[in-house]
Structure 1
Amino acid sequence: MQSLTFERTNGNIPRKLAGEDHISGIMFYMDTLPSGFTETERIKAISQIETAEKLGITADAEEWSIRLVHYQLSEIFRINPAISLYVGIFPKAEGANTYADTKKMQNFAGGRLRQLGIWEGDVAFSKESLTALQGVAATLEGQDMPLSILYAPKVAAVASLPTDVAGDKERVSVIIGQAGSSTGATLYADEDNTTAKASVSGLGVLLGIVSLASVHESPAWIEKFPAGIDVPAFGDGTLLTALDRAVVESLDAARYLFFVTYSGLSGSYLNDSHTMDNATSDYAYIENVRTMDKAVRGIRTYLLPKLGGNVYIDKSTGQLQTHSVEYLQTTAQKALEDMEKAGELSGYVAEIDPDQNVLATSEIEIVIRPVGVGVVRCIKVKIGYAESV
């Protein structure tokens, strides 16, 4: 009998997100290049896993490192199918890594990367690496291309990780968790070097969640961002359930990122959204850094065209005229107004002291104070019997 049948396919049209908060990059330090990459073309824009597979990044590749890349990209697209992603593969560093390739990634993306994952799972974690990463991120910030770095080093022994490395590294977060089951665990078991295994890492999951979250949202929001990892583990293969609670708490206090479970709740989640800054810093969490970065980028967009323009002075007082002050304040606040409407800020104010001698200095100082959005990290409930209510 004649027939006409249809088979619906999925994944051919990448989703699109508004804005640029989801634009991300991921870098791998490894010596094997997939077939679609060359020595002179080490960075590719990849919008879906099918594109990666056409470039030779496959789940059944002979090289373990290429299978690892496929796994990380699959996790990213599982969490956030609409991510705009740049993938870079660079040779392993000889000696201490300066992470100069971070600048190559950001420049290739036209300065639009908001977050960058870096996999270096066969290089032992060190404080020097964090310092170098913060340094290159600070350089990019000075060039008006700020980003957050999500770093995945080798975890040789999770219980022996240093707990005193955090401080003054607000642009770096360190992921030490990985999957203890399914593909992640299989990859870890298949790693060739049995005496010094590389960490697989849950970097793809973390990058997917961060890129999906609005800038003011914590990636550890339980209700909104499940990790999708059935059995949480650490980079040395140790399962979360096998680690003493005191050790887990010390790792959290040391500001590492990993996956946790909660009694009575299915699934796994990020323990928090720490950066490697001081716990008391305004930039102690990823959402703090991303929100301020967005505010700065927006303010810059509106104020930059005003350079070289005129302002007017009150001839009697020598102060800035009121209309010049109000005009600049309104201009500086436009981006923050949009962020407040989007729920990314609780409020803001921009102030200009009119008593500035612009004729002498050609400089105007604007003080901007955005009010952030709070994140609930602890809920305390008091409960007890009562004779009546």
Structure 2
Amino acid sequence: MRPRLIVQKLNGGLGRRNPSADMVTGSVMNAVATSEMVLGNIYTLKNIQEVEALGLSEEYDQTNKVLVYERLRRFFVHNPSITVYFMPVAQGVTLTQMVDKDNQYLARLLRDKAGEIVQACVSLNPDKSHSPIIETGLDKDSIDAIYKAQALADAEWAKDRYCEIYIEGRSFSGTSAAALNLRTLLSECPDISVVIGADYEVSSRDDLYKGYAAVEDYAAMVSKADVSQNAGEQINDFNLTDVDEKTFIIPGLSSGNKLSEYSDTDLDNLDDRGYIYFAPIVNLGGISSTAGIYINDTHTCAKITSDFAYGENNRTIKKAIKLAKAALTPKVKGRIYVDENTGFMAPETVKDLETITKVSLDPMVAAGDISGGVDAYINPQQNVLATSEFIVLLTFIPVAIGRRIT
């Protein structure tokens, strides 16, 4: 063939994103500073190139014996449209310190972004001196962080900032039967989830990584799910295995062991106790088109009977609250007309406010995030003249998740 210039027409190189407010994610983890990355600063990351612009790479991870680049790249492998607000912190900072509402780590990140972050994760990249203290089958730091994170979530809720927080459940040890039951904690932590699943290829790179859990992978999958959707749904969109990117060829736990080393009873026990891990779905005789590695479930640290027992429940409720709040905010410090005879709220005012509230959830109904049944009720006999406040009751019918099909 004669020499000539060959032009190939490719697709996908423009790096188009399809972001949504439901994808905005916060990340706090230990790191080693670079000339481009200052510890304690907040960085906006929308693609892997912006990660690399911080001086992060595979070589950075190898040199510093950390998983900073590896963890951050997973966000974009699983969800190219995600927006990540990233805060690197010193290696001596613990998970418990990261989520403490009185410290300037995750609390500052959430405050700085003023409610934009809807899910956040924290993880360790410890140095060689780190030695975990194991308590009820998990690094005590991870356990202590659960309660501190819920206190932070409560404080954020009081400021109308709603966020799910995912904790790296490090160094799983012992037996599944003896593991701490996250469904029956001393105090419920419904806004918190604990991930103990790991990518075995990462765990086996170095002894220092054996205690790691893939909390960023979980956050990325949640970010791409509709708020009413279980991020472990067994469709290709939620398959963690990516041969080209070398992710989740073999699943493991934060024990450093392969998942296959645990019995089905062990895995059932961990699932019943509210732990999040990543499990294989097999191709049964060529029938299943979704063979791969999937999230076992979207557990939270709440009772199994709670309305907030699963992540999609929380995300749906919080989005509904945000939409209703946005619709009603213009009424704050607005004039509320009252009945001239009773002094209570005027019927037409009540009707108007109820309609505004109900209509605010129309986008969620249209998107299939709620089944319907949207209703708003305002007791007309509220004495707004005396209190300058009124209560709105908003209800709707959620979408159910079929966890077991017989």
TM superposition score normalised by structure 1: 0.87
**Secondary structure, in 3 states, of the residue corresponding to 2:71?**
helix
Q: Are the equivalent residues in 2 in contact too, given 1:14–1:47 (CA < 8 A)?
A: no
Which residue type is aligned with residue 165 of structure 1? L
With over 3 angstroms needed to count, the CA separation of the structure-2 counterparts of 1:62 and 1:256, relative to structure 1, is closer
Q: Is 1:296 paired with 2:321? A: yes
Q: What's the Cα RMSD here? A: 2.4
Q: Is contact 1:47-1:85 (8 Å) kept?
A: yes
Q: Which residue of structure 2 aligns with residue 119 of structure 1?
A: 123
Structure 1 residues 227-376: aligned runs within 5 Å? 227-228=240-241, 229-263=248-282, 264=284, 265=288, 266-347=291-372, 348-376=374-402
Q: Deviations over 1:245-284 (max 9, x none)?
A: 2111111011000011234252111111101111111001
Q: Classify the secondary structure of the residue corresponding to 1:370.
A: strand
What's the offset of the Cα at 1:98?
Answer: 5.4
Matched, 1:162 2:198: no
Residue 60 of structure 1: SS of its match in structure 2?
A: helix
Offset from partner CA, 1:151-204 (integer Å, 9 cap, x none) = 113224263663323341111111101112xxxx1x4233254xxx55232223
Q: What 5-or-longer segments of structure 1 have no aligned partner?
A: 381-389
User: 2:26 is matched with which residue?
Assistant: 25
Contact 1:158 1:238 in 2 (8 A): no
Unaligned runs of 5+ in 2: 127-131, 133-138, 242-247
- Residue in 1 that maps onto 2:135: none
Distance 1:262 1:53, change over 3 A: same
Q: Count how many residue pairs are aligned between Structure 1 and Structure 2.
A: 370
Tell me, what secondary structure is at the counterpart of 1:363?
Answer: coil
Q: 1:94 to 1:299 in 2, by over 3 A?
A: closer
Aligned with residue 188 of structure 1, among 203, 225, 236: 203
Is residue 2:191 matched to residue 1:171? Answer: yes
CA shift, 1:335, in A, is 2.2
**Any idea what SS the aligned residue of 2:334 has?**
coil
| SS in structure 2 of the partner of residue 149 of structure 1 | strand
- 2:51 match: 52
Q: TM-score, normalised by structure 2?
A: 0.84
2:238 maps to amino acid: F
**1:76-105 deviation line (CA, Å, top 9, x unaligned):** 111110111122111222795252311222
Choose from 205, 212, 215 the match for 1:203: 215
State the identity as a percent.
Answer: 25
Q: What CA distance in whole angstroms lies between the structure 2 residues aligned with 1:206 and 1:154? A: 14
SS at match of 2:70: helix
Equivalent-residue separation in structure 2 for 1:79 and 1:303 (angstroms): 35
Aligned match of 2:224: 212
Tell whether the 8 Å contact from 2:204 to 2:210 is kept in structure 1 after alignment.
no
On the 8 A contact 1:121/1:153 being kept in 2, the answer is no
